[in-house]
Amino acid sequence: MNFMEYCNIVVNTGTKATDRLFTYKIPTDLYGKIRIGDKVVVPFGKGNKLLEGVVFEENSEDSVKNIKGMKSIQRLVDDELGLSGKQVDLCKWLKETYLCTYSEAIQCLIPKFYSDVNTKTKKIAIINFDPEDMDSIISKMSKNAYKQIEVLKILSVAQRMQVTDLMKVGKTSRAVINGLEKKNLIKIIEEKEYRTPINLDKIERDEPNKLNEEQLLAYNSILNVIKRKEHDTFLLHGVTGSGKTEVYMHLVRKVINRGEQVIILVPEISLTPQIVGKFIKRFGNNVAVLHSKLSLGERYDQWKKIKNNEISIVVGARSAIFAPCDNLGLIIIDEEHESSYKSEMNPKYYTIDVAKHLCRQSNAVLLLGSATPSIESYYNAKNGVYKLLELKNRFNNNPLPSVDIVDMRIELEEGNKSMFSRSLYEAMKESLLNNKQIILFLNRRGYSTFVSCRSCGYVVKCMHCDISMTYHHKNNIAKCHYCGYKSIVPKVCPECGSKYIKFFGSGTEKVEQHVNKLFPSFKTKRLDIDTTSKKGNLERIIKAFGNREIDILIGTQMVAKGLDFPYVTLVGILSADITLNLPDYRANERTFQLLTQVAGRAGRHDFRGHVIIQTYSPDNYAIISSQKQDFKEFYNKEIELRREFCYPPFHNIINIIVLGKDENLVVKSANRLFQKLESEILNNNELENTQLLGPNPAIHNKIKGFYRWQILLKYQSIDHEIIKGIINYICNINKGKYLDSKVHLIFDLKPYNIF
Ligand code: ADP
Ligand code: ZN
Ligand code: ZN
């Protein structure tokens, strides 16, 4: 047998400077025992400090044998936290693709890399005598020990109980329980605990539904590829309520029956309780739900079960893409257009790209689902990169809701200064009288307010970028966060001359106040970050709404997703303009998506839905297309604008963030870097139509004491590899030449929040 003798290891030194592969010799007693991905302890540096590392690859070059003083691996760490070969490959890909460090890549894949995460144990109290002797034992105890007696009585019934529970039930302290242990009346043992975050006892199960014709068509196309064990990507474009989830579940059943694993991603677990619930009902404890509220220990338990193939189905948000499924057959990304699939932490990965890589690795199928696909995904589908599948009708052919657009400029003209148009107010009254429920939507998420004319709808936009300018209160200026252009805020509207230039900023709280005033006898609840930060609140509000204990639900994006309640017949969108005027080239796309999603909450079952969109820009194409719920019409307009203004998918954007604690140093480095990039790009004959913007202070200019400046690169998508090569050459290989060692760089490919 040929055993691995030398290998290259990523050592966890904690510094970026040593983030590379180091070669080590494998001692003879570990021959044949060390595999790629294993965790090992190695001596490192001058002092031969013992550090942990991960074996990344074999080094079979002859030259290594002649290296004098080559260090040996000290020992193998057998804590089940190693990586598989496929995961090591994924780490290399992450580093290569997102220009991150090895450690950052590894941290995505191992829950809390290198830290000593032990399986949680729980302490159990067990009664240590025959319960029949209870009375005689109590009679011998002192009267002062009444607390101990109380505990014994509880335990004699329960026989065994977790110590923490016993303390709660007995309303007593740990000291009392310890006292009983000393008297040998109870035993306390430690038990290993697999923490299941779902309480399966209470969950009713359901059976697969028979698919309708459209569903069956989509299902069969995908199943054929799964059966052939080939890699392919599908885009399932299905209107809201068309039954995409049922298609997913049928496919999942097939894949797990083949002995393979499935990852299902949703934008955010807590916002999509209904879809998660459907999977649990259908597949029971074969489902691991990974969500951000899991403790480290819970996460670790789930991780191990998935790794050991004890669980076949993983449901989670973005980071669940890194679940250790070694036997992947299918990845489903629901609501694939959602921005939450882009990571804002390092590596700043884009989940769909990671999923593609994983599926390629395992010959698995990637299924993207949405009622409003992202422009880029749909462009890929149109161009044959993805296979397009469509569900054109709502399940059971329920009609889509009727949508009215209300021009708020006219409301104002005619003397209505309230945030409710007359038609929305009337529709609310009617709904409430008919005992139906209402969702009111106002998207206040986002950093900036925009500046707009209330009379004509004019929005202050950057003359260079066609993007809304952000109002800076401090200097009283409007600023483009894209190119840095500044202008004064006009006092009168440059379009119509009116004085009604306003900063827009009403939030859900104000809406709630008004609704309570208008409809005091009806029950109103608000669903946004402020009302749901406490654990359990979100679930409670959604449940109460489902039970019709709430008449009017007011919320941000949280109400836009996944809610499926039969008595909701009216959806009111208070201001479509908030999203429309976000300083982002995706503003129209996001508006179309959001309006369509929110509108899709109305009339999903027996009662016809009605949607009212209030806006100051009733002629905007995103709003008009969302009124018709016509994705294709919207796409055709939007894709032409993207082409014209050089935005994705035709052009790519990379954001390079320069950060450090010394502001002067950061600014100097950013400038030097900019000049270097500029000269490399100008001198490259292969590059055409490439723009370098900046350096500008980032919108969050200072985070945790670090100053941040950014340089934006905008280039033709086909030039991606050349550009990445240039960045890698300047920013990684020759970083020392151009940048002070106290300055760091972060790379953001396909950035979502640069503004
Ligand atoms: P989407 O995910 O496309 O918005 P859902 O999967 O939530 O749509 O389906 C909408 C409704 O139709 C749900 O109440 C769902 O249970 C029901 N439904 C979908 N497919 C079927 C089917 N084949 N048989 C019975 N009911 C179905
Ligand atoms: Zn105006
Ligand atoms: Zn600009």
The residue whose CA is least distant from atom 23 of ligand 1 is 211
Rounded to the nearest angstrom, the distance between the alpha carbon of 37 and the centre of ligand 2 is 62
DSSP readout, 213-278? HHHHHHHHHHHHHHHTT--EEEEEEE-TTS-HHHHHHHHHHHHHHTT-EEEEE-S-GGG-HHHHHH
> Looking at ligand 1, which atom is closest to the CA of residue 211?
23
C-alpha separations of 754 from 344, 583, 749 in Å: 11, 9, 11
Which ligand has the nearest atom to the CA of 495? 2
> Looking at ligand 1, which atom is closest to the CA of residue 600?
4
Rounded to the nearest angstrom, the distance between the alpha carbon of 461 and the centre of ligand 2 is 13
pLDDT score at 577: 87
pLDDT digits (tens, 9 = 90+) for 217-234: 999 999 999 999 999 999
Lowest mean pLDDT among 113-117, 133-137, 518-522: 113-117
pLDDT score at 703: 67
Rounded to the nearest angstrom, the distance between the alpha carbon of 242 and the centre of ligand 1 is 6
The residue whose CA is least distant from atom 24 of ligand 1 is 209
Residue to substitute in 245, 281, 332 for testing ligand 1 pocket (most ligand atoms within 8 angstroms of CB): 245
pLDDT score at 116: 39
The residue whose CA is least distant from atom 25 of ligand 1 is 209
Rounded to the nearest angstrom, the distance between the alpha carbon of 364 and the centre of ligand 3 is 42
Q: In degrees rounded to 5, what are phi and psi of residue 403? A: -120, 125
Which ligand has the nearest atom to the CA of 597? 1
Give the residue among 374, 406, 398 at the shortest CA–CA distance from 614: 406
pLDDT score at 115: 39
Lowest mean pLDDT among 348-362, 500-514, 601-615, 675-689: 500-514
3-class DSSP state for residue 310? coil
Averaged pLDDT for residues 106-114? 70
| Count of CA atoms in the C-beta half-sphere (13 A) of 410 | 10
Rounded to the nearest angstrom, the distance between the alpha carbon of 577 and the centre of ligand 2 is 15
State the DSSP code for 558: G
What is the chain's mean pLDDT, rounded?
Answer: 87
The residue whose CA is least distant from atom 5 of ligand 1 is 243
Scored b (16 or more CB within 10 A) or e, 56-83 reads bbbbeeeebeeeeeeeebbebbeeebbb
pLDDT score at 750: 83
> Looking at ligand 1, which atom is closest to the CA of residue 242?
3
Rounded to the nearest angstrom, the distance between the alpha carbon of 729 and the centre of ligand 3 is 29
Rounded to the nearest angstrom, the distance between the alpha carbon of 407 and the centre of ligand 2 is 14
> Looking at ligand 1, which atom is closest to the CA of residue 212?
23
pLDDT score at 473: 62
Rounded to the nearest angstrom, the distance between the alpha carbon of 644 and the centre of ligand 3 is 16
Residue 87: pLDDT above 70? yes
pLDDT score at 563: 80
Q: What is the pTM of this model?
A: 0.80
Give the residue among 463, 660, 435 at the shortest CA–CA distance from 567: 435
Which domains are seen in the chain, by residue range?
Answer: 6-110 (3.40.1440.60), 121-192 (1.10.10), 200-391 (3.40.50.300), 402-447+506-643 (3.40.50.300), 652-748 (3.30.70.600)
Most confident range (mean pLDDT) of 12-16, 44-48, 736-740 is: 44-48
Rounded to the nearest angstrom, the distance between the alpha carbon of 579 and the centre of ligand 2 is 19
Residue 583: pLDDT above 80? no
Which ligand has the nearest atom to the CA of 645? 3
Rounded to the nearest angstrom, the distance between the alpha carbon of 499 and the centre of ligand 2 is 8
Averaged pLDDT for residues 484-509? 81
* Residue showing tokens 């009216």: 570
The residue whose CA is least distant from atom 9 of ligand 1 is 243
Residue 581: pLDDT above 90? no
Residues 35 and 54: their CA atoms lie apart, in Å, by: 10
Residue 445: pLDDT above 50? no
> Looking at ligand 1, which atom is closest to the CA of residue 396?
12
Give the residue among 674, 482, 678, 667 at the shortest CA–CA distance from 583: 482
pLDDT band at 113 (very low <50, low <70, confident <90, very high): very low
Residue 83: pLDDT above 80? yes
pLDDT score at 114: 33
* Helix 213-227 and helix 244-257, axial crossing angle in degrees, nearest 10: 30
The residue whose CA is least distant from atom 6 of ligand 1 is 243
pLDDT band at 466 (very low <50, low <70, confident <90, very high): low
Stronger pLDDT, 720 or 706, i.e. the higher one: 720
| 327's tokens | 């036997």
pLDDT score at 203: 61
pLDDT digits (tens, 9 = 90+) for 27-54: 999 999 999 999 999 999 989 999 999 9
Lowest mean pLDDT among 201-205, 213-217, 452-456, 748-752: 201-205
Scored b (16 or more CB within 10 A) or e, 654-677 reads bbbbbbbeeeebbbbbbebbbebb
pLDDT band at 505 (very low <50, low <70, confident <90, very high): low
Residue 731: pLDDT above 80? yes
Lowest mean pLDDT among 228-242, 291-305, 602-616: 291-305
Which ligand has the nearest atom to the CA of 275? 1
DSSP readout, 28-72? GGGTTT--TT-EEEEEETTTTEEEEEEEEEE---GGGGG-TT--B
3-class DSSP state for residue 285? helix
Averaged pLDDT for residues 420-442? 95
Which ligand has the nearest atom to the CA of 462? 3
Residue to substitute in 236, 368, 395 for testing ligand 1 pocket (most ligand atoms within 8 angstroms of CB): 395
Rounded to the nearest angstrom, the distance between the alpha carbon of 469 and the centre of ligand 3 is 8
Residues 654 and 659: their CA atoms lie apart, in Å, by: 16
pLDDT score at 448: 45
Ligand 1, CB within 6 Å, residue ranges: 209-212, 215, 238, 240-246, 395, 564
pLDDT score at 304: 84
The residue whose CA is least distant from atom 18 of ligand 1 is 243
- Percent of the chain at pLDDT > 70 equals 92
